[in-house]
Chains A and B, each alone.
Chain A
Amino acid sequence: MSNLWDLLIDPLLRGPTWGTILVCGALAAVGVLAYVRRTTQVGELISHAAYPGVVVGLLLTGSPAGAIAGAALSALIALGCMGRLTRRGLSPDNALALVLALFFGAGLLLASRAQFLDPRLFRQVQTYLYGQAPSMTDQHILLYAALALTVLLAIAICFKELQLWSFDPTQARLNGLGSRPLELMFIGLLTLSVLASLKAVGIVLATAMLVAPAVAARQFNNRLDRMLLWGALIGMVSGWLGLYCSLYGLPAGPMVALISVAIALASLLVAPRNGLLVRLGRMARFRRQCIDENILKAIWRAGDGMTTLAQLHNCVGGRLLSLRWALLRLRRHGWLTARIGLTLDGAQRAAVIVRRHRLWEAYLVTSLGVGIERVHPSAEEMEHILTPEVEAQLVQLLRDPRHDPHNQPIPQVPR
């Protein structure tokens, strides 16, 4: 584990490490903006459309600076093409697919020609496809620190404007906020951080760094400001851990992307409001509630006639083991007496359930005109669903009926 901290200070490793961390943080913060504006695909266009520029830039100058300049140029041309196509009435996703295919295809074609002309150059071109973090040096730290600072400052200074413009562009215009400068700034930040990340994560996986931290951050945050902070943090941690993996012979770029996606998926799983685990838990709780209420109802209906477990099992169904377990639970919570009998609280809860069951049947028959023989299954379900508020509405609507359609009494429950 000490390696993880060593990465940050080791003279050979700190370049790649800090470079990746900073660039991933900047990319993730811009990604959060793209995510709430629902325009993450523009990032994908920028990264892929940069490829032909990289090839041409390397061919002409042979230097990384040339590659980046070429990348910027071809990315901007692609953005212009996409803007023109959408203004011509093509939908953004279709325009994106066309332009992306055109540019990336051209890039691959150029690269394959380069392979025959100059194999060494070809290897260099390939590193931009999948990233080559270990080749970064201390100079990259400075470069990427400047980038991260730019992104941070731009977002902090214009936070209010960015927030309003992303959420409600109409209101932004009414406030006299031109959308043009903000749009340009957003696209500028996006282009800058995507291009900077080509060295670390590569063309193919840059989008992952844009989207995954934002998705993860959204699961735990209801505010844009906190989402930005969390997104940047998750991006930085992914960069750090991804680079750590490269110490064990794994490729850094793909590992950074994979880790951020893993964090996003884990967040979706455990998100407090609507995560999969929370929902599974809620489902299990509801099933348990239904079982409990069915048991209470069965005992209440039978009156004193229910004395043995076998009788109850006949009535309720399900597996015997889960029935025993449910009885234990109901006793512990004070709904059942030591034998199969209801406590006062249990009797009242059962009466409420039966009352809701019969009220629902009465509602279906009298208000909706459903056939009397068809209402029972629906009532079996809704008796567990109805809330006191809905019950009160039913009582009002049906003028507090005393009998259900089967002429069974509707139990009155003291409030």
Chain B
Amino acid sequence: MTVWEASQLTVHYGTRPVIWDLCFQVPPGHLVGILGPNGAGKSTLLKASLGLVRPSSGTVRFWGEPWELVRQRVAYVPQRAAVDWDFPLTALQFVLMGRYGRLGPLRWPRRADRQAALHQLRLVGMEECAGRQIGQLSGGQQQRLFLARALLQGPDLYLLDEPFVGIDVTTQQWLIQFLKQLVSEGKTICVVHHDLTQVEDLFTWLLLLNMRLVASGPMDQVFIPELVEQTYGAASNLLEEVVGLSRRRKTGAAS
């Protein structure tokens, strides 16, 4: 049984390749780290898996099914900069959006939904901020909000894009504990992460990514110097160049 699998997944932005021929499987109950340097296609992998970016080829399955059939079981937490924090929205309303998918079209949130949202706010320790406008919260608090919104959706798989960026040390520690707690409850959590500190005590499964998949597997088998060197080293630049050239040739953008 796999939670998340990709086969021969390739994504281009224009003629620039971002992901090339990915094949991997993620088993349930792991805290999965998706590691790679900047521009390695980590965020794109999440977006392509969720149908936000159209892949050039390949397929992605969750629990063996296409994404459209398991929408509610997968929660996506984007990078913090992805939304407009000046938007007139309170913290509670923000979290409540986690319920919108399940409520269905044209139905207003009910009191029970609001109570549930408040409960999630309490779980992430932000009850007293419920009525504050979201832009007045700190980076760490905004990250907690994102998590609360994902929690309210009640998913089995979490895809988090760089949740540790721009948050204070306290929130960082809290977030690690919280994610581990979720995993112990049987959830699967995949975290896009770009630096190599804390990797060993955080994750139990790794995907090493630099446009192609360098390795995937349990922490102790994958987090070894040769593979990390391959992921972060300069050797993969050549691949990107050649695959990009191939695409430009095929589309007539280069002679």
A interface list, Cβ under 8 A from B: 36, 38, 157-161, 163-164, 166-168, 170-171, 173-177, 218, 221-224, 227
Choose among A158, A167, A222, A223 the residue that contacts B84 (Cβ–Cβ < 8 A).
Answer: A167
Pairwise interchain contact B89-A223, C-beta atoms closer than 8 A:
yes
Choose among A167, A170, A171 the residue that contacts B89 (Cβ–Cβ < 8 A).
Answer: A167
Choose among A161, A166, A171, A224 the residue that contacts B105 (Cβ–Cβ < 8 A).
Answer: A161
Supposing A36-B87, A36-B88, A166-B87 touch, asked if A174 and B71 sit within 8 A by C-beta, the answer is: yes
Pairwise interchain contact A168-B83, C-beta atoms closer than 8 A:
yes
Supposing A160-B108, A160-B109, A161-B105 touch, asked if A221 and B88 sit within 8 A by C-beta, the answer is: yes
A106 to chain B, nearest CB (A): 35
Query: Roughly how many angstroms separate A166 CA and B100 CA in the complex, as a whole number?
Result: 14
Supposing A222-B88, A227-B88 touch, asked if A175 and B71 sit within 8 A by C-beta, the answer is: yes
Residues of A near B133 (CB, < 8 A) are 222
Choose among B50, B52, B78, B103 the residue that contacts A160 (Cβ–Cβ < 8 A).
Answer: B103
Residues of A near B124 (CB, < 8 A) are none
Pairwise interchain contact B71-A167, C-beta atoms closer than 8 A:
no
A163 to chain B, nearest CB (A): 8
Pairwise interchain contact B87-A164, C-beta atoms closer than 8 A:
no
Nearest residue, chain A, Cβ from B51? A173
Interface size on B, residues (CB 8 A): 26
Tell me if B101 is interfacial: C-beta within 8 Å of chain A: yes
Q: 14 A-B pairs, CB-CB below 8 angstroms? A: A160-B107, A164-B97, A167-B83, A168-B82, A170-B78, A173-B51, A174-B76, A174-B101, A175-B101, A218-B88, A222-B89, A222-B132, A222-B133, A224-B93
Pairwise interchain contact B88-A223, C-beta atoms closer than 8 A:
yes
Interface of chain B, helix or strand or loop or mixed? Answer: loop
- Interface of chain B residues 76 through 122 with chain A (CB within 8 A): 76, 78, 82-84, 87-90, 93, 97, 100-101, 103, 105-109
Pairwise interchain contact A164-B88, C-beta atoms closer than 8 A:
no
* Additional pairs, 12, CB under 8 Å, beyond known A164-B97, A175-B101, A177-B105: A36-B87, A160-B106, A160-B107, A166-B87, A170-B78, A171-B100, A173-B52, A174-B50, A174-B101, A175-B100, A218-B88, A222-B90
Supposing A160-B107, A161-B106 touch, asked if A176 and B52 sit within 8 A by C-beta, the answer is: no
Residues of A near B100 (CB, < 8 A) are 160-161, 164, 171, 175, 177
Residues of A near B71 (CB, < 8 A) are 174-176
Residues of B near A168 (CB, < 8 A) are 82-83, 97
- Interface of chain B residues 127 through 175 with chain A (CB within 8 A): 132-133
B231 to chain A, nearest CB (A): 27
B197 to chain A, nearest CB (A): 22
Residues of A near B78 (CB, < 8 A) are 170-171
Residues of A near B103 (CB, < 8 A) are 160
Q: Which of B89, B103, B106, B132 neighbours the largest number of chain A CB atoms within 10 Å of its CB?
A: B89
B50 to chain A, nearest CB (A): 6
Q: Which of B101, B103, B133 neighbours the largest number of chain A CB atoms within 10 Å of its CB?
A: B101
Query: Roughly how many angstroms separate A158 CA and B103 CA in the complex, as a whole number?
Result: 13
Query: Roughly how many angstroms separate A370 CA and B42 CA in the complex, as a whole number?
Result: 42
Nearest residue, chain A, Cβ from B101? A175
Pairwise interchain contact B97-A224, C-beta atoms closer than 8 A:
no
Residues of B near A170 (CB, < 8 A) are 52, 76, 78, 82
Pairwise interchain contact B97-A171, C-beta atoms closer than 8 A:
yes
Choose among B87, B107, B108 the residue that contacts A167 (Cβ–Cβ < 8 A).
Answer: B87
Query: Roughly how many angstroms separate A202 CA and B95 CA in the complex, as a whole number?
Result: 41
Query: Roughly how many angstroms separate A159 CA and B105 CA in the complex, as a whole number?
Result: 10
Q: What are the 8 A-B residue pairs with the smallest beta carbon separation, nearest first? A: A175-B101, A222-B133, A167-B87, A224-B88, A168-B83, A227-B88, A164-B100, A222-B88
Residues of B near A158 (CB, < 8 A) are 106
A152 to chain B, nearest CB (A): 15
Nearest residue, chain A, Cβ from B106? A157
Query: Roughly how many angstroms separate A171 CA and B89 CA in the complex, as a whole number?
Result: 15
Query: Roughly how many angstroms separate A163 CA and B84 CA in the complex, as a whole number?
Result: 12
Q: Which of A166, A170, A175, A176 neighbours the largest number of chain B CB atoms within 10 Å of its CB?
A: A175
Query: Roughly how many angstroms separate A269 CA and B97 CA in the complex, as a whole number?
Result: 33
A347 to chain B, nearest CB (A): 36
A298 to chain B, nearest CB (A): 37
Nearest residue, chain A, Cβ from B132? A222
Query: Roughly how many angstroms separate A383 CA and B165 CA in the complex, as a whole number?
Result: 32
Residues of A near B93 (CB, < 8 A) are 163, 223-224
B81 to chain A, nearest CB (A): 12
Nearest residue, chain B, Cβ from A35? B88
Q: Which of B71, B82, B105, B108 neighbours the largest number of chain A CB atoms within 10 Å of its CB?
A: B105
Residues of B near A173 (CB, < 8 A) are 51-52
Residues of B near A161 (CB, < 8 A) are 100, 105-106
